[in-house]
């Protein structure tokens, strides 16, 4: 999994014996062995895990510090054969100073020591009574258990093989400071931040802590692993809950259950490649001021992952939670963009081709919402149905009924005679069913819409969606063209959910027609139906399932994921829905169409960006029309 940038990271809360480092070492060893057995490559304990955080003035006794060093010696000896990098919280003496530190160990060696910077000394905290801040540290090395090791807050632990796997450390209060050390860690290349903490529990602090960790993970575009002391700390004045959290770029991947007496472990596979790609995209990120005086410690991060310990959404564009609010926001963005354009054009009329399919339905409903926002009559929405050779009674009737139910103006113009005449003019056989036959119909419809717009001093509203643009599934200068597009940032899988949301909030005939539209197969309806009038041409039979294409598109453009990795993620995500052969087949189709159809995307009309992905050549996607994809497919075909 390391070849795809994945590394399994973990957080331990050890069942504490307060002020008894050797007992704690034994428990930590058991947990490190457990973590190693679960395939964890890097794991952290809480702050001062060898002693406990609440030892108070016992930190000033040599016995406790000596026992801590002895406990570390035991851990080093007992874990020297484990393929794991461990981060142990303990007090460390250095040149007449006592520091609250994270000690990084692997295979019996101490790799580096990171001291705490911000020492809290307010409310219930009195750490300055015992510990010195890293700001007052004059040494760059320290002798610990006979090993001379670097000690600094500016240490980066970077994998020898994959530079993207690069971790750094901060301790508890460091995160709560105005300028956390992790800001600088990330700017210097750390993709993974570990925080050893002892965060007590008071009412409301849990949600605040979550928000803080999430925001720091998001700001630093990093994976942030947070481990805090458990309830076996002293309860003289405080209770500790043992909160453990793992975030990736602001998203919670894993958390534990707080207030557990026994030791516990959480772990997850984080994706360092996607984090680095996100940083490439964010010019503000690399423009930030930072101190680059860091020491790089090269480490061997073991690749022990057999099965990926994370899942991916089959519908990455569709929200999992708070759906109604998200759908409402999407529709408001679409409608508001159109309303603003109409204000600029002195409240012109809107002309839209109505096919009875999902895309034109959503675009029509967005226009209707924009008109409500502007307090305008829906009579100025001109819904044009243009029956052709492939139009079925079902889609025709649905298009007509939808326009009437919303009080818009209906126009019906058959394209059959015009297309037959054009076929005769260019010498195309009447029985021809090639792409020319199909495109003649698409361009005739677009010409009709444009001419009606001229007649009525209106604008043509485009209905094409993001998925169609990605695949080039549109006729150049046909349905490819409009005067303003409201669906250009909405993928096909999301279109269905938005129409369904509107349907669920409708009643009567409106609800009925929307239900039938949702049940209709996706089709351009350019080829004649069968003798019974049933639709023969189904889009997904030609170009593949949109659920796959939208998944491919999301990971390609949102994370810059390689196609071999997309194939790997797709096999994992759709293992119960598609065979590996089917996934590879449709991924190759996606690659060929995505690369070869850029010339269409270079000439698209203005359209509203709704989500994080857009294909507009004026905004999110600038690529040459001649980019080669031969080697990409060759590599993919060899991938198991």
Task: From 342, 403, 399, select the one nearest 375 (Cα to Cα).
Answer: 342
What does the mean pLDDT of the chain come to?
A: 95
- How do residues 249-265 score in pLDDT, each as one tens digit? 999 999 999 999 999 99
- How do residues 441-455 score in pLDDT, each as one tens digit? 999 999 999 999 999
Q: Is 21 part of any domain? A: yes
pLDDT of residue 289: 75
Q: Over range 601-605, report the average pLDDT.
A: 95
Residues 159 and 227 in one domain: yes
DSSP class per residue in 224-242: EEEEE--TTS--SS--B--
Q: Over range 4-32, report the average pLDDT.
A: 98
Using the 3D structure, point to which of 232, 257, 283 is the last residue of a domain: 283
Q: Is 526 part of any domain? A: yes
Residues 503 and 408 in one domain: yes
- pLDDT reading at 525 higher than 80: no
Contact 184, 290 (CB under 8 A): yes
Lowest-pLDDT range, 64-73, 535-544, 545-554?
535-544
- pLDDT reading at 551 higher than 80: yes
pTM here?
0.93
CB neighbours of residue 321 within 10 Å: 6
Q: Over range 271-297, report the average pLDDT.
A: 91
Q: Of 191 and 527, which is predicted with more confidence?
A: 191
Contact 386, 445 (CB under 8 A): yes
Strands (E), 166-263: 166-171, 192-197, 223-228, 244-248, 251-255
**Where does the pLDDT of residue 291 fall: very low under 50, low under 70, confident under 90, or very high at 90 and above?**
confident
Residues 353 and 447 in one domain: yes
> Strand pairing of 264-271 and 244-248?
unpaired
- How do residues 24-41 score in pLDDT, each as one tens digit? 999 999 999 999 999 999
DSSP class per residue in 262-281: S-EEEEEEEEHHHHHHHHHH
CB neighbours of residue 636 within 10 Å: 18
CB neighbours of residue 322 within 10 Å: 10
Residues 277 and 328 in one domain: no
Contacts of 531 (CB under 8 A, 6+ apart): none
pLDDT of residue 536: 61
For the domain that residue 425 is a member of, what is the CATH number?
3.40.50.620
- Which ranges of 457-597 would DSSP assign to H, the alpha helix? 466-471, 492-504, 508-519, 539-543, 546-559, 563-573, 580-596
Q: Is 623 part of any domain? A: yes
Q: Over range 506-511, report the average pLDDT.
A: 96
CB neighbours of residue 5 within 10 Å: 23
For the domain that residue 262 is a member of, what is the CATH number?
3.60.110.10
Q: Over range 171-175, report the average pLDDT.
A: 97
Contact 512, 503 (CB under 8 A): no
- Helix, strand, coil percent values for the chain (each to nearest 5): 40, 20, 40
Structurally, the chain folds into a number of domains equal to 2
How open is the CA angle 249-250-252, to the nearest 5 degrees?
Answer: 110
**Where does the pLDDT of residue 523 fall: very low under 50, low under 70, confident under 90, or very high at 90 and above?**
confident
pLDDT of residue 526: 64
Contact 255, 224 (CB under 8 A): no
Strands (E), 408-548: 409-412, 459-462, 484-485
pLDDT of residue 256: 98
**Where does the pLDDT of residue 521 fall: very low under 50, low under 70, confident under 90, or very high at 90 and above?**
confident
CB neighbours of residue 525 within 10 Å: 26
The rounded Cα 208 to chain-centroid distance in angstroms is: 23
- pLDDT reading at 528 higher than 80: no
CA distance 206 to 242: 11
Q: Is 615 part of any domain? A: yes
Residues 453 and 600 in one domain: yes
**Where does the pLDDT of residue 124 fall: very low under 50, low under 70, confident under 90, or very high at 90 and above?**
confident
Phi, psi at 184, each rounded to 5°: -70, -35
The C-alpha R_g of the chain, in whole angstroms, comes to 31
Q: Over range 524-536, report the average pLDDT.
A: 68
Residues 278 and 410 in one domain: no
Q: Over range 445-474, report the average pLDDT.
A: 97
Using the 3D structure, point to which of 262, 283, 304 is the last residue of a domain: 283
CA dihedral 316→318→320→322, nearest 10 degrees, is 140
Task: From 215, 195, 212, 219, select the one nearest 275 (Cα to Cα).
Answer: 219
Q: What positions carry a catalytic annotation?
A: 47, 116, 172
Q: Is 298 part of any domain? A: no
CA distance 153 to 169: 8
CA distance 365 to 502: 8
Contact 444, 419 (CB under 8 A): yes
**Where does the pLDDT of residue 315 fall: very low under 50, low under 70, confident under 90, or very high at 90 and above?**
very high
**Where does the pLDDT of residue 55 fall: very low under 50, low under 70, confident under 90, or very high at 90 and above?**
very high
Q: Is 300 part of any domain? A: no
Contacts of 532 (CB under 8 A, 6+ apart): none
Q: Over range 235-258, report the average pLDDT.
A: 97
CA distance 24 to 51: 7
pLDDT of residue 538: 73
Q: Find the domain containing 92 and state its range.
A: 2-283
């Amino acid at each position: 999994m390391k070849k795809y940038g994945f590394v399994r990271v973990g957080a331990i809360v050890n069942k504490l014996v307060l002020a008894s480092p050797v007992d704690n070492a034994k428990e930590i060893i058991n947990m490190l062995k457990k973590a190693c057995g679960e395939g964890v490559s890097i794991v952290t304990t809480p702050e001062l895990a060898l002693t406990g955080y609440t030892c108070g003035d016992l930190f000033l006794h040599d016995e406790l510090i000596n026992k801590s060093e002895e406990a570390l010696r035991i851990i080093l000896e007992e874990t020297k054969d484990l393929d794991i990098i461990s981060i142990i919280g303990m007090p460390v003496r250095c040149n007449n100073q006592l520091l609250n530190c994270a000690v990084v160990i692997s295979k019996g060696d101490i790799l580096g020591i990171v001291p705490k910077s911000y020492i809290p000394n307010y409310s219930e905290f009195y750490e300055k009574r015992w510990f010195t801040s890293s700001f007052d540290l004059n040494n760059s090395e320290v002798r610990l258990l006979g090993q001379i090791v670097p000690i600094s807050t500016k240490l980066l632990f970077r994998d020898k093989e994959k530079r993207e796997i690069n971790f750094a450390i901060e301790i508890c209060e460091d995160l709560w400071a105005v300028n956390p050390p992790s800001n600088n860690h990330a700017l210097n290349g750390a993709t993974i931040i570990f925080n050893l903490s002892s965060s007590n529990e008071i009412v409301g602090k849990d949600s605040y802590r979550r928000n803080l960790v999430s925001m720091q993970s998001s700001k630093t575009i990093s994976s942030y692993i947070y481990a805090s002391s458990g309830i076996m700390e002293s309860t003289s004045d405080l209770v500790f809950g043992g909160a453990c959290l793992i975030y990736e770029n602001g998203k919670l991947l894993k958390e534990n259950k707080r207030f557990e007496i026994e030791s516990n472990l959480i772990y997850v596979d984080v994706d360092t490649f996607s984090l680095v790609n996100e940083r490439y995209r964010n010019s503000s990120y690399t423009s930030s001021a930072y101190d680059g005086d860091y020491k790089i410690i090269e480490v061997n991060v073991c690749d022990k992952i057999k099965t990926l310990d994370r899942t991916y959404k089959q519908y990455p564009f569709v929200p999992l939670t708070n759906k109604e609010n998200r759908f409402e926001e999407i529709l408001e963005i679409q409608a508001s963009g159109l309303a603003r354009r109409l204000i600029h054009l002195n409240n012109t009329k809107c002309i839209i081709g109505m096919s009875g399919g999902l895309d034109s339905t959503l675009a029509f409903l967005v226009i209707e919402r924009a008109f409500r926002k502007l307090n305008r009559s829906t009579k100025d929405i001109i819904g044009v149905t243009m029956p052709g050779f492939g139009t079925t009674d079902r889609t025709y009737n649905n298009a007509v009924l939808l326009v009437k139910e919303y009080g818009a103006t209906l126009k019906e113009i058959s394209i059959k005679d015009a297309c037959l005449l054009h076929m005769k003019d260019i010498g195309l056989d009447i029985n021809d069913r090639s792409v020319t036959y199909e495109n003649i119909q698409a361009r005739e419809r677009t010409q009709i819409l444009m001419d009606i717009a001229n007649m009525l001093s209106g604008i043509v509203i485009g209905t094409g969606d993001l998925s169609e643009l990605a695949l080039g599934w549109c006729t150049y200068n046909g349905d490819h063209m409009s005067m303003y597009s409201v669906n250009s940032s909405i993928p096909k899988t999301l279109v269905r959910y938005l129409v369904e949301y509107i349907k669920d909030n409708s009643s009567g005939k409106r609800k009925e027609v929307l239900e039938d539209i949702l049940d209709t197969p996706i089709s351009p309806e350019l080829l004649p139906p069968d003798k019974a009038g049933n639709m023969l041409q189904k889009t997904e039979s030609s170009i593949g399932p949109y659920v796959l294409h939208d998944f491919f598109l999301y990971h390609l453009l949102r994370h810059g994921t390689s196609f071999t990795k997309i194939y790997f993620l797709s096999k994992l995500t759709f293992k119960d829905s598609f065979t590996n052969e089917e996934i590879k087949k449709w991924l190759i189709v996606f690659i060929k169409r995505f690369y070869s159809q850029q010339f269409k995307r270079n000439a698209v009309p203005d359209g509203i960006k709704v989500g994080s992905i857009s294909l507009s050549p004026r905004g999110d996607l600038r690529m040459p029309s001649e980019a080669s994809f031969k080697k990409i497919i060759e590599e993919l075909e060899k991938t198991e």
